[in-house]
Amino acid sequence: MAQPSVSSRLDRLPTGRFHKKLVDLVGGGMFCDNFDIYIAGAVLSVFIATGFSTLDLNAYFVSATFLGMFIGTIGAGVVADWLGRRVTFQWNLAIFGLASLAGAAAPNMEWVIFLRFLCGIGLGAEIVLGYGTIAEFVPPQKRGRWVSMLSMISSTGLLASTLLSWALIPIFGWRIMFIIPGVGALFILWMRKALPESPRWLEVKGRTDEANRVVTSIEDELRAEHGELRAPEPRMPVPAESIWQKARTRSASTHW
């Protein structure tokens, strides 16, 4: 009899405190991400008003941010497939947090632009890894709701950035807007030590024993909360050529 796969064990689980903690940790990073992305509107005008920057340098600041995000978005998936979700999820916050704090201490606009590029790499990676992490742990039939919750948490970063810019920049100057997301990112980085590696990634890499241990730990936590869990259904591997069967061809073509 075929043994249940890691995916089938994860997909039949109820959601509970484990998933709420996961969304909190992922959402915290994405909140800082959105917060930092939207500080540009506030700080760029201050750069001009104080003579710290010029219109040309401000344009480079914006371009450097999005160039870094582009690289981070593409690179995150490649690195996560190579080194694992958990490691990549930690490094992207470290890059983002440290670059943001360094930007607060930058002596001139040229350094701010360079550090903003590095920060952008972490910002772009966080977006990809955040939604991907939720997708790998939350059962598919409940995934839409939890992704929506993550998006809502992330979006509040815009509101927080706007309000705090209005309240704090006149008192502390523009540098405080780099310090806040930098400190927040490093705090979330420390909290994320509790996140397990993705069992689905471990299974794909042939590290089945590790994957099963992670799933067993999640099952134990949810069993204590919900009682006995539904048994997973064994899944047989589907041959790649079956995609060309008449019943599946139309569905596959819509995805392509």
Tokens of 153: 């948490």
Residue 185 CA, distance from chain mean position: 11
Residue 115 has pLDDT above 80, yes or no: yes
Inside any domain, residue 188: yes
Provide the 10 A C-beta neighbour count for residue 205: 15
Inside any domain, residue 187: yes
Residue type, 53: S
Rounded distance between C-alpha atoms, residue 143 and residue 65, angstroms: 30
Q: Which residues are within 8 A (CB) of 203 and not within 5 positions of it... i.e. 6 or more apart?
A: 5, 6, 7, 211
Residue 237 has pLDDT above 70, yes or no: no
Q: Which residues are within 8 A (CB) of 179 and not within 5 positions of it... i.e. 6 or more apart?
A: 100, 101, 104
Residue 234 has pLDDT above 70, yes or no: no
Rounded distance between C-alpha atoms, residue 166 and residue 182, angstroms: 19
List pLDDT tens digits, range 208-233. 999 999 999 999 999 888 888 777 76
Rounded to 5 degrees, φ, ψ at 207 are -95, 60
Q: What is the pLDDT of residue 5?
A: 84
Inside any domain, residue 249: no
Tokens of 207: 């590290």
Inside any domain, residue 220: no
Q: How many independent structural domains does the chain possess?
A: 1
Provide the 10 A C-beta neighbour count for residue 196: 18
Mean pLDDT, the chain, rounded, equals 88
User: pLDDT category, 242, cuts 50, 70, 90?
Assistant: very low
Inside any domain, residue 246: no
pTM of the model: 0.83
Inside any domain, residue 250: no
CB contact at 8 A, 27 and 190: no
What range defines the domain where residue 22 resides? 6-203
Inside any domain, residue 30: yes
106: DSSP letter: -
The alpha-helical segments, DSSP class H, found in the chain are 6-11, 17-37, 40-49, 55-83, 85-104, 109-137, 143-172, 176-191, 199-204, 208-226, 246-255
Inside any domain, residue 208: no
CB contact at 8 A, 61 and 40: yes
The CATH number that applies at residue 189 is: 1.20.1250.20
User: pLDDT category, 73, cuts 50, 70, 90?
Assistant: very high
Q: What angle do CA 79, 201, 139 make, to 5 degrees?
A: 120
Q: What angle do CA 85, 91, 94 make, to 5 degrees?
A: 145
CB contact at 8 A, 97 and 186: yes
Tokens of 102: 């360094």
- Of all residues in the chain, the percent with pLDDT exceeding 70 is 90
